[in-house]
Amino acid sequence: MSEDMMPRKNEPWNTRNTKKTGKGKPLPPMDGWKYSLGYVFIAVISISLFNWFVASSDSSIVPYSEFKSLVSSGQIVRIDMDTNYYTGYASSPARNDGRPGADGQSRVYKAVPVYDPEFTKLLDEKGVTYSAVSRESNAVLGFVLNWVLPIGLMFFLWRMLQKRMTGMGSNVLSVGQNKAIIVAEGDVKTRFIDVAGVDEAKEELVEVVDFLKNPKKYTDIGGKIPKGVLLVGPPGTGKTLLARAVAGEAGVPFFRMSGAEFVEMFVGVGAARVRDLFKQAREKAPCIVFIDELDAIGKSRVNGVMGGNDEREQTLNQLLVEMDGFDATSGLIILAATNRPDVLDPALLRPGRFDRQVGVDRPDIVGREAILVIHSKTVKLDPATDLTKVARATPGFVGADLANVVNEAALLAVRAGRKKVFQQDFEKAVEKIMTGLEKKSRVMNPDERRVIAYHEAGHAIVAAFTPEADPVQKVSIVPRGFGALGFTLQVPIEDRYIVTEDKLLGEIDVLMGGRAAEELTFGKISTGASNDIMRATDISRRMITDYGMSKRYRNVALTKRGAGIMGSPSEPLMTREYGEETQQYIDETVAATVAVRYETA
């Protein structure tokens, strides 16, 4: 094996090396064994087929009773006996098929031995010559083929599977080696300029980059850089992208590993992988270790009393020990990301471990426009395309959603046969992502279409006459998604972070406008308003329980808490802190509020 293919010291086989083959792909470990394994299978099958063919093609084998009758009639003059067959030679010098036998005679009949004490007496009476024949060579070969070869093959396969399951390691202990993806210095192409919409988070991480580039500036004054930085935010906001940008700006090796990759079915594997990860990171310092989905191993250990995961807790304990064990000036920085900070263990968040939390929130309209500009760099846009309008039409979208909008717009332009992406392509892409795919082929009778048309018109009319409602951009009666028969698209003028009581009541009015239009026009209602009713009921209930907007319990929160230890909100079992009378008041108030807003609509 050449020097390039040998694993470096303390580097597991399963680590993605930066050395590449001529085609730019990582060197596959133990590549030659694939061909050897195939040859072994072919050889075993060939030998088995050959033995079966030889045994089945021997037409001289006859039943024992017939063989004994031939002896009685004097047709057999000599018999060779072994453990497998009685081989009888006829009195004629040749067989009826013309094949010569040994000593001028023909081997014509074979029979499987049967326990028969009278058979030797019959041979003596008929004057048949019989003798035992040694078959030691065949017995040895049969033993090898029947026992040694299959057992050896099974052992070989077991070893092969063991090595592959443990990450191609040299022994079973290699299962404890980490599965981190190591990206060498200079291989990370992402920079801060590639990240938009999270300016505050980038400012927090500039210090991390500066420390990795100029650690002496901090050590001379006695300052310490945070050991761990936890990126917290909803899915798709760019936490992983930020971590890669930090590594790219600093120009240091980048270890990337998911929290789920630490925990396996074997007890102790997760802790061993944590030790191995930090061992490799110290050898390559300064570097960055990024653990994605930290909540997979960092959940609070308080819940363990209710039946926790011992392996996960051991992994978490080892992570806590390792983060206490390295010096803050060693150049090793831990970055982690999670979208569930509420379930993390408090010991993981204390100063000295993940002592800095960076919030990566959903972008505002300015951030969304900047993200759209970045993702549109490689897309041919029409000069008249206004990305500001697209950003305004996508409130609540994160970076991943906006990247999907740009890609969908490009695909729609190609589908329409255009060479550039126009504004209408972005509008259709936003509608597709928000409401689902159009189902123009769905067959609906005219009466149903008429009901849907009046229903959606009711939403639009109420929205137009409600001052607190967002303006309507589009109304459609084309079925979409998995159940929507139509939709009324409302686009807010600006991002809102505080919602007033009048605004919430206005939303309920718009939701109830569809059913109100049905009843006024047709004198009856339909199931088309089921989703509207659910949303209106939810808003009304939250106004009472969460926002303190009821008359009796003004400014009082009637929320539920977790039934677990310390009232963890992540517990699936929720208990309320109020009695049946209060619950009855909530239900009656919700029903009354929805009824009043329905009459208003």
For every residue of 301-350, DSSP letters joined together read GGGGGGT--HHHHHHHHHHHHHHHHS-TTSSEEEEEEES-GGGB-HHHHS
Which amino acid makes up residue 1?
A: M
Catalogue the E-assigned strands of 36-154. Answer: 76-81, 86-90, 107-111, 129-132
363/386 Cα distance (integer angstroms): 18
CA torsion, ordered 397, 402, 408, 413, to nearest 10 deg: 120
How far is the CA of 34 from the CAs of 38, 164, 168, in angstroms? 6, 12, 13
Rounded to the nearest 5°, which phi and psi values hold at 244? -65, -35
Question: Exposed/middle/buried for 61, CB within 10 Å: 0-12, 13-18, 19+?
Answer: middle
Helix (H) or strand (E) holding 158: helix 149-165
CA 400 to centroid of chain Cα atoms: 17
Q: Which two tokens stand for residue 487?
A: 């939709």
Which of 472, 471, 535, 468 lies closest to 502, judged by CA?
468
7: preceding bond cis by omega (within 30 degrees):
no
Rounded to the nearest 5°, which phi and psi values hold at 335? -110, 140
* 456 belongs to the catalytic site: yes
Which residue carries 């009354």 as its tokens? 592
> How do strand 181-183 and strand 254-258 relate by DSSP bridges?
antiparallel
Choose the catalytic residue: 427, 456, 507, 518: 456
> How do strand 129-132 and strand 254-258 relate by DSSP bridges?
unpaired
Helix axis angle for 149-165 and 33-57, nearest 10°, is 160
Contact 49, 215 (CB under 8 A): no
Residue positions annotated with a catalytic role: 456
